[in-house]
Amino acid sequence: MATEQKTEAAATDGTSAGGDSLTVTDNRTGESYELEITDGTVRAMDLRGIKVNEDDFGLMTYDPAFTNTANCRSAITYVDGEAGILQHRGIPIEQLCEHSTYLEVAYLLGFGELPTQSQLDRWTFDVIHHTFAHEDIKKLNEGFRHDAHPMGMLLASVGALSTFYPDAKRIDDPEERYMAAIRLIAKVPTLAAFAYRHSLGLPYVYPDNELNYSENFLSMLFKMENTYEPDPRLAKALDVLFILHADHEQNCSTAAVRSVGSSQVDPYSAVAAGVAALYGPLHGGANEAVLRMLHEIEKVENIPDFLEGVKNREERLMGFGHRVYKNYDPRARIIKKHVEEVLEATGDNPLLDIATELEKRALDDDFFTSRKLYPNVDFYSGLIYEAMGIPADMFTVVFAIPRTSGWIAQWMEMNGDPEQKIARPRQIYTGDRDEDYVPIADREGPEKITGPPARRPKRPRRGA
Ligand code: CMC
């Protein structure tokens, strides 16, 4: 007959919060346990009290890729995938894109509230006056080959910032944290533009304090003569794209920043981890893939064949579907409105005709609608970047610029969270035990050394 006991955590509290609890029976022992349910979760450590005997380590959860594990409490970004809702600090993304600017959203993410006018003025002044990078960063860039991927260069230069600002190691000092936030948000566009200019063998363009954030980035990319006036329609569309990409709760790169930052390393090194994670094709590279797909389709007449290929699983419709958004991606709706404005400024782009027709046909097709596959933000963002003249290998770099504000906001939140410790997952050990050391003369094996077999899915999957 099963006996009932409370797990360690529940027993300490005595009562279940809100009366919500989960009763589980361990069929190995017949014991029942009551686990507290708080905010729709049970604490993994509560399972540790479930043991077969006193020597047993206790039960753990197995959750590769953390698909069902909350790693933190966060008040920064709310996503409801079913309803297509994205809010920062409770404010819908639609309102932010309509009324705000990227720099104001960056403040909102980091400090929890919309700034007053004087706070915004100070914040904007501080960002604009820290956009210059140390001259030695240029020397660092010069060490790269002419064809180095700009994302690899950005990764290196963001990491290098930690050596220029060693005081950032004092992560408990609020002034140091503020300066790190300012410097990262201010300098990442400069580092990104330097990487781009390096790839073209062009002289670097220094920041222009007279321009706003997105205008300044366009100027650092494209300025050729002494004067450069960014088209306000392009600058506005870029600013909206920056807002849309600023934060997306616990995605791969943000989780990387939190995990690395949990070692109490300086924020530049933690954010460099985010850049590294974003570099991967499953995360930041989807808009590049959309563009490649549109080029491969080549003309509107080829769309039916392409869609057949998708249905036969020979192709994937890039820019469609999302791990979280299952009815629509609110970011896609917003950015779609800006595509036309951008093309008005830059001239027609034949890829847009292909994209429009592709979208229309897919949305009329039961294969896609029954699987809840709708356009995501990347279906359009690549088109905008391309129309602006930004090459495809810079797309992920451009994504990293606004995501820096999300990373730093999440890093600051983590640092202030008394429940956070150094991230240190457990494992299920599957290897041998207690084997004897074999002398080299007695060992056998193939001549050729190869890596262990890859266990990745055959088709690379790209997503948030
Ligand atoms: N084209 C064709 N079929 C698809 C697609 C697609 N884009 N996405 C999903 N499916 C199919 C999939 O084959 C599966 O079909 P079935 O049930 O018959 O096997 C079904 O839809 C469910 O797909 P899933 O792979 O289980 O869905 P997921 O939630 O694991 O994948 C995703 C999400 C984003 C990885 C995927 O939709 C995808 O690969 N999309 C294309 C890449 C892309 O646009 N990524 C950008 C995401 S937005 C960026 C961001 O938020 O940062």
Ligand 1 center–CA 245 separation, angstroms: 19
pLDDT for 464: 47
pLDDT for 462: 43
Residue that wins the pLDDT comparison between 269 and 377: 269
- Mean pLDDT, residues 266-283: 94
pLDDT for 14: 41
Ligand 1 center–CA 369 separation, angstroms: 12
Share the mean pLDDT of the chain. 92
Give 420-445 pLDDT, tens digit per residue.
Answer: 999 999 999 999 999 999 999 999 99
Lookup result for tokens 């055959």: 458
Q: Dihedral of CA 235/241/245/246: which sign?
A: positive
- Mean pLDDT, residues 336-358: 89
Residue 310 Cβ inside 6 Å of ligand 1? The answer reads yes
Instruction: For residue 447, give the DSSP letter.
Output: S
Report whether 79 contacts 248 (CB < 8 A).
yes
Q: Using 50, 70 and 90 to split pLDDT, how confident is the model at 327?
A: confident
pLDDT for 236: 95
pLDDT for 87: 98
Q: Whose CA is nearest to atom 45 of ligand 1?
A: 463
Q: Using 50, 70 and 90 to split pLDDT, how confident is the model at 316?
A: very high
Give 225-267 pLDDT, tens digit per residue.
Answer: 777 889 999 999 999 999 999 999 999 999 999 999 999 999 9
Q: Compute the distance between CA of residue 394 and CA of residue 332 in angstroms, rounded to an integer.
A: 20
Q: Compute the distance between CA of residue 332 and CA of residue 396 in angstroms, rounded to an integer.
A: 17
What would the two tokens of residue 444 be? 């056998």
Name beta bridge partners: 80.
85
> Could you identify the atom of ligand 1 that is nearest to the CA of residue 290?
44
> Could you identify the atom of ligand 1 that is nearest to the CA of residue 322?
34
Q: Whose CA is nearest to atom 8 of ligand 1?
A: 321
What positions carry a catalytic annotation? 283, 322, 378
Domain ranges in the chain with CATH number 1.10.580.10: 77-286+384-415
Q: Using 50, 70 and 90 to split pLDDT, how confident is the model at 6?
A: low
Q: Whose CA is nearest to atom 52 of ligand 1?
A: 464
What would the two tokens of residue 227 be? 């004067």
Q: Using 50, 70 and 90 to split pLDDT, how confident is the model at 459?
A: low
Ligand 1 center–CA 373 separation, angstroms: 7
Residue 317 Cβ inside 6 Å of ligand 1? The answer reads yes
pLDDT(124) > 50: yes
User: Lowest-confidence range among 5-9, 86-90, 117-121, 231-235?
Assistant: 5-9
pLDDT(47) > 50: yes
Q: Using 50, 70 and 90 to split pLDDT, how confident is the model at 9?
A: very low
pLDDT(401) > 80: yes
pLDDT for 285: 81
Please return the burial class of 50, using the count of CB atoms within 10 Å of its CB with bins 0-12, 13-18 and 19+: buried
- Return the CATH fold of 77-286+384-415: Citrate Synthase; domain 1 (1.10.580)
> Could you identify the atom of ligand 1 that is nearest to the CA of residue 331?
51
Contacts of 81 (CB under 8 A, 6+ apart): 322, 323, 324, 325, 326
Q: Whose CA is nearest to atom 2 of ligand 1?
A: 316
Q: Which of 376, 379, 403, 456 to mutate to test the pocket of ligand 1 (most atoms within 8 A of CB)?
A: 376
Q: Which of 316, 329, 365, 383 to mutate to test the pocket of ligand 1 (most atoms within 8 A of CB)?
A: 316
Give 158-186 pLDDT, tens digit per residue.
Answer: 999 999 999 999 999 999 999 999 999 99
Edge-to-edge strand ranges of the sheet holding 85-88:
77-80, 85-88, 91-92
pLDDT for 225: 77
Residue 323 Cβ inside 6 Å of ligand 1? The answer reads yes
Residue 461 Cβ inside 6 Å of ligand 1? The answer reads yes
Q: Whose CA is nearest to atom 24 of ligand 1?
A: 323
- Mean pLDDT, residues 185-206: 96
- Mean pLDDT, residues 45-55: 96
The secondary structure of 40-87, three-state, reads CECCHHHHHHCCCCCCCCCCCCCCHHHCCCCCCCCCCEEEECCCCEEE
User: Lowest-confidence range among 18-32, 88-102, 159-173, 239-253?
Assistant: 18-32
Q: Which of 249, 254, 317, 399 to mutate to test the pocket of ligand 1 (most atoms within 8 A of CB)?
A: 317
Express as a percent the part of the chain with pLDDT over 70.
Answer: 94
Q: Using 50, 70 and 90 to split pLDDT, how confident is the model at 152?
A: very high
Residue 331 Cβ inside 6 Å of ligand 1? The answer reads no
Residue 321 Cβ inside 6 Å of ligand 1? The answer reads yes
Q: Whose CA is nearest to atom 21 of ligand 1?
A: 371
